[in-house]
């Protein structure tokens, strides 16, 4: 006796002599008799001996992919015949361990090839959604279809998913009971997914709110540190470092009274301290003109002014 384990991603089934997937699986695990020229070469007696070569599935996969051999390796011609397949499949009769209960798989996708050869054609799929309804996937078109339409195709590849947590009473073959159990299981999975999604949204919103509050507090703290380290503005030093053609414009002390008496004139220049000048004269003056018709007269520096008053001068606008 010699045992050989081969890994597999899919199971290839010969459909030339089979009319259903179950019949093709039965033929797949039937022992092959090796006699005559195909006899087994014994490693003990070094002679060819008749032998039996069976196949079985040793380890069950979570997703079962059944590939129906429709194309010839030599010519590429396609075998166009309908092979029956069911929505539920018990893989226990084809397993190596026959002492365990039923191993049920549920069909969730059917791949179909439209064409006559392997060198041309078009692929489309029938997919079972989480709500139990079937849909036809044809390029970018998704169309709802009946369960009977998905189970009556000339399938090329069948996709099954293992339902190990279902009850062992599947051997009765009741389609109504199977559909009811699947619907209940899918509904439970959908409810769990929705609950998890709601929890994630709440956690994300709370974390985002905490991050915004933390960022605002950090920004306020940073601004307070900058204000504490910022030295007071010394206008005397600023004016001493300005170029010769720079003009310093100080805001008027009567700004508040002007706003009350002339609320609509933001750039009002009082006439009491200005004279009328022409546009030509205005361009040659060394001080900044007002927006109105008059220009502000330059202020004279008072050398006898108190130094304490100079330190409390208002902010100035510098133009050069």
Calpha distance 127→153 (Å, rounded): 13
Q: Which two tokens stand for residue 148?
A: 């009977």
Mean pLDDT by 10 residues, the chain (320 residues): 89 91 93 89 88 91 94 83 93 89 94 87 93 93 94 95 60 47 57 62 58 69 75 62 67 58 52 48 48 49 50 51
- Please provide the CATH number assigned to the domain covering 11-170: 3.90.70.10
8 A C-beta contact, residue 219 and residue 295 = no
Q: Check residue 158 and give its pLDDT.
A: 97
| Gap between the Cα atoms of 25 and 63, Å rounded | 16
What are the structural domain ranges in the chain? Answer: 11-170, 174-230, 235-319
The DSSP bridge pattern shows strands 247-249 and 155-162 to be unpaired
């Amino acid at each position: 006796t010699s045992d050989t384990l081969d890994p597999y991603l899919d199971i290839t089934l010969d459909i030339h002599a089979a009319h259903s997937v179950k019949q093709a699986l039965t033929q797949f695990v039937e022992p092959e008799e090796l006699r005559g020229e195909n006899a087994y070469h014994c490693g003990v007696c070094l002679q060819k001996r008749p032998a039996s070569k069976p196949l079985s599935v040793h380890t069950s996969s979570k997703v079962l992919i059944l590939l129906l051999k429709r194309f010839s390796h030599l010519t590429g011609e396609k075998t166009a015949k309908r092979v029956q397949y069911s929505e539920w499949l018990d893989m226990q009769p084809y397993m190596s361990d026959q002492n365990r209960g039923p191993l049920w798989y549920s069909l969730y996708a059917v791949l179909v090839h439209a064409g006559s050869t392997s060198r041309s054609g078009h692929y489309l799929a029938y997919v079972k959604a989480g709500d139990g309804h079937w849909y036809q996937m044809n390029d970018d078109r998704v169309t709802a279809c009946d369960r009977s339409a998905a189970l009556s195709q000339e399938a090329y590849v069948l996709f099954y998913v293992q339902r190990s947590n279902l009850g062992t009473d599947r051997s009765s073959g009741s389609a109504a009971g199977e559909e009811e159990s699947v619907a209940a299981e899918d509904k439970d999975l959908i409810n769990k997914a929705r609950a998890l999604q709601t929890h994630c949204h709440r956690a994300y919103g709370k974390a985002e709110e905490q991050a915004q509050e933390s960022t605002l507090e950090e920004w306020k703290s940073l601004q307070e540190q900058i204000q504490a380290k910022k030295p007071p503005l010394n206008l005397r030093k600023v004016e001493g470092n300005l170029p010769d053609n720079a003009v310093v414009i100080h805001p008027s002390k009567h700004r508040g009274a002007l706003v009350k008496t002339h609320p609509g004139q933001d750039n009002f220049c009082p006439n009491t301290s200005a004279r009328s000048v022409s546009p030509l004269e205005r361009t040659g003056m060394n001080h900044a003109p007002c927006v109105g018709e008059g220009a502000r007269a330059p202020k004279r520096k008072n050398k006898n002014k108190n130094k304490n008053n100079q330190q409390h001068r208002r902010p100035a606008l510098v133009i050069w």
